[in-house]
Amino acid sequence: MSIPQHIAFIMDGNSTWAKENNKPVMDGYLAGMRTMAQTILDAKELGVKYVTFYAFSMENWGRPQKWVSDFMALALRFFKNDKSIKEVLQAGAKLKVIGDITRLSQEVQNILNEYIERTKNHSDITVQIAISYGARDEIARTVQKMQKQGIDFTVDNISNNLDTAGVPDPDLIIRTSSKQRLSNFLLWQCSYSELYFSNLLWGDFNKAELKKAIDEYSKRERTYGK
């Protein structure tokens, strides 16, 4: 079976999961964060080398202020104290963050930067967390950076200056909760990615569904437009 080198995940359905399980909405996002951690371990076991998770979009900043504050407080507690993230670190994961993290609170920036520094020499699996991320924003920031540095606008140069520089484009993008759209996620990088849409809510996503997606991927012929 052909194993994708890089899988990206659009983690959809957290609030629906909370509603269906009669829990407060932020409990759904906590379940989703723990699912993310377990999925990293499962992907590593299956031989995947890179994973990217769409955790918080640029558009999410437009949600009610209480929701944004509650989510950021939850993310801070998760990264500081949750057992599942400790297991990920112990598993040799290298953490990267993509997105405009300057918009995050200093506390959240500090914990993310701490993990980036602590894991920089890890090599078992690379984990990119997209937070305060939007593909159009990423491309715009990249263009601005290249203009300032006088870098020519070639395809390779743009790829090498994106937030994801140094990480191969995703072979497979998995979106949960039945929705079939990319929602401003890795638009440059997904040019030839295979797409898999799962009916499961993200909080219910599991190793069996991951293996099902990889099995479906392995049956597809990738021609890269040729």
What confidence tens digit (pLDDT) does each residue in 11-69 have? 999 999 999 999 999 999 999 999 999 999 999 999 999 999 999 999 999 999 999 99
The answer to whether residue 1 scores a pLDDT higher than 90 is: no
pTM above 0.75, yes or no: yes
With CA atoms as reference, report the closest residue to 54 among 104, 10, 99: 10
Residue 98 belongs to domain with CATH number: 3.40.1180.10
Looking at the domain assignment, is residue 20 inside a domain?
Answer: yes
In a domain, 76, yes or no: yes
User: Which 3 state secondary structure label does DSSP give 89?
Assistant: helix
| Total structural domains within the chain | 1
Identify the active-site residue in 12, 42, 163, 171.
12
**Which of the following is catalytic: 27, 60, 184, 206?**
60
Please give the single-letter amino acid code of residue 145: K
In terms of Cα–Cα distance, which of 134, 135, 157, 138 is closest to 146?
157
User: What φ, ψ does residue 224 adopt, rounded to 5°?
Assistant: 55, 35
Which has the closest alpha carbon to 54: 72, 32, 31?
32
Query: Which structural domain range is residue 120 located in?
Result: 6-218
Does any domain span residue 179?
yes
Catalytic residue check, 60: yes
Task: Tell me if residue 54 falls in helix, strand or coil.
Answer: strand
Question: Is residue 19 situated within a structural domain?
Answer: yes
- The answer as to whether 1 is a domain residue is no
pLDDT digits over 124-147, tens only?
Answer: 999 999 999 999 999 999 999 999
148 within a domain of the structure (yes/no) = yes
Helix axes 25-46, 207-218, angle to 10 degrees: 50
Of residues 95, 113, 1, the one with CA closest to residue 47 = 1
Domain contains 202: yes
Catalytic, 14? Answer: no
